Amino acid sequence: MSYELKELSEETLNLTEEAWSKLTEPDVFALELKSHFEWAKQHIDYTNSSKSSFAYGIFKVDEGEQTRGAEALIEIIQSPTGRRVTKLLKLVTSAKYWDVSDSSTIGDLHDVLHTAITGTIELSSHNSSRVLKFYGRNAHLLNILISINRSLNDAIKQPNNPLHGKLNSKMVDRWLELSIS
């Protein structure tokens, strides 16, 4: 399955909220997810240059067409001035990805996270960020970021890799930090 990171519209955000609310008990939705939607509604004006924090969605692409609701909501911070840094601060998934004992769910969750990371890298080029940071909010996400850091460092050590000498990857506390030289 493939996914893509996209800007959210009011319509896609409402469709996502409606779909997600059907996957959990009302009290679980209210406790675990509702605040993320309330926050996202205030952070989808991508033309507002006074904001640095934006909500994006990860959408499943099914046979070339984007599905209507997002599979995940993410918070990306882009510093508009000074040291140009882009941070993937938060990733919240639909409840259908909460059962990490199912191997197919793990595979899908990995693909969602991969899309979040590559999408953040693509967005960072819009504000000429030289540093990208990804936060390991929970133990599972932190372990994935540690694994990504190891594989990146192994890859960029190879002289024939196009990123050799151009990318540095390191863990700083719970952050995966990528620096582009």
Quote the tokens at residue 41.
């509604």
Percent of the chain residues topping a pLDDT of 90: 40
What was the pLDDT predicted at 81?
Answer: 66
pLDDT score recorded for residue 130: 80
Within a domain: 124: no
What does the alpha-carbon distance between residue 154 and residue 148 come to, in Å, rounded to a whole number? 10
Q: In angstroms, rounded to a whole number, what is the distance separating the alpha carbons of residues 108 and 1?
A: 8
What was the pLDDT predicted at 164?
79
**pLDDT-based confidence at 64, cuts 50/70/90?**
low
Question: Looking at residue 143, what is its pLDDT?
Answer: 86
- Please report which confidence band the pLDDT of residue 54 belongs to, taking 50, 70 and 90 as the band edges: very high
Q: Is residue 7 part of a domain?
A: yes
Instruction: Say if 10 falls within a structural domain.
Output: yes
Beta strands in 8-162 (DSSP E): 53-62, 65-66, 72-78, 85-93, 131-135
Quote the pLDDT of residue 82.
63
- Token reading at 55: 């909500």
**Spatial separation of the C-alpha atoms in residues 27 and 20, rounded to whole Å:** 13
pLDDT per position as a tens digit, 94-108? 999 888 787 888 888
Residue 139 forms part of a structural domain:
no
Beta strands in the chain, from DSSP E residues, in sequence order:
2-7, 53-62, 65-66, 72-78, 85-93, 131-135, 167-172, 175-180
Give me the domain span that covers residue 11. 2-99
Looking at the predicted structure, is the pLDDT value of residue 137 above 60? yes
* Assigned domain for 151 exists: no
- Tell me how many domains the chain contains: 1
More confident residue, 68 or 47: 47
Residue 160: pLDDT above 80? yes
Is 60 part of any domain?
A: yes
| Sequence-distant (≥ 6) Cβ neighbours of residue 159 within 8 angstroms | none
pLDDT tens for 80-133 read: 666 678 888 899 999 998 887 878 888 888 888 888 888 888 887 776 778 888
Is residue 8 over pLDDT 90?
yes
The candidate with the shortest Cα–Cα distance to 88, out of 47, 38, 129, is 129
**Residue 179 counted as domain residue:** no
Structure-token match 């692409």, residue found = 61
Whether 160 is in a domain gets the answer no
